[in-house]
Amino acid sequence: MVGWIWSSLLRLIARNRAVALAILSAIASALIGLSLTWRDASQTSTGGPPFLGLAAIAVAMALIVLAGAVPAEYEAAERLDLLLPVIYHVLDLRESDRLTIHRLRTFPSRGYEQITEYYPAPKRHTQGRVFPMSHGIVAQCFSHPGHPVTPWSVPDGQTFEHAMSDRWTFTDDETRRLSQDRRSFLAYPIGQHGSYAAAVLYLDSSDPSRFAGPAGTDTLDKITRFFDKPLSNALKS
């Protein structure tokens, strides 16, 4: 929930950056004015340093930096949200299928973050979830920009938990954060940021055959032909 709130806040700021900067600048001015008052009061009463005033200025500057440094991917989230239902229908996905988009995350540590909710609408908020770059089909896709990862399905006779641990090295705690009924997976890289993809289109299904074999190849081909450029443009425009 904290991740979803933080992600939603950044998206709100990104959508209204000019307004946010104006409001935060006004707050900063007020805090600076208060800091001068606190400084005068501090010097008059004790002669000591105006720590409270300095703290107020630091908070004001931090807020302005936050508004100015919202990653471009958050600005693109609205456009990507609009593309998801189009992709869903063009790929002829089914009721048991869903898709979302993750972005590369470099601060405070390298990983990836889910920046859109699943389409169709999820039962619970998942936007804002953060995962390490050490495992998972999405992490592998981020590490190979320009080269879609081969679609993968949970092998017959293997439980979801064992498959996630055996193939993708998820820990038990991380596996519990995942949707337990998923059986088929596909990841497609979007754009490039250094040696990584800038974002990843992720699809999964409760049908183990959904992205296996020719069906997965056909899905990847449609994404490449119809959505590679629109997704890249939506991410950076």
Region 118-127: mean pLDDT is: 80
Region 204-222: mean pLDDT is: 94
Written in H, E and C, the secondary structure of the chain is CHHHHHHHHHHHHHHCHHHHHHHHHHHHHHHHHHHHHHHHHHHHHCCCCCHHHHHHHHHHHHHHHHHHCCCHHHHHHHHHHHHHHHHHHHCCCCCCEEEEEEEEECCCCCEEEECCCCECCCCCCCCCCEEECCCCHHHHHHCCCCCCEEEEECCCCCCHHHHHHHHHCCCHHHHHCCCCCCCEEEEEEECCECCECCEEEEEEECCCCCCCHHHHHHHHHHHHHHHHHHHHHHHHC
Phi, psi torsion values for 204, nearest 5 degrees: -145, 170
> Looking at the predicted structure, is the pLDDT value of residue 120 above 60?
yes
Query: Could you give the percent of the chain with pLDDT greater than 70?
Result: 66
- pLDDT for 164 equals 93
Tokens of 188: 């497609």
Mind listing the pLDDT tens digit for each residue in 139-175? 999 999 988 888 999 999 999 999 999 999 888 888 8
Mind listing the pLDDT tens digit for each residue in 178-194? 889 999 999 999 999 88
Mind listing the pLDDT tens digit for each residue in 72-97? 556 677 788 889 999 999 999 998 99
108 or 234, greater pLDDT: 234
CB 202, CB 138: distance < 8 Å: yes
Query: Could you give the percent of the chain with pLDDT greater than 90?
Result: 42
- pLDDT for 218 equals 95
Global pTM? 0.72
Q: How confident is the model at residue 37 (pLDDT cuts 50, 70, 90)?
A: low
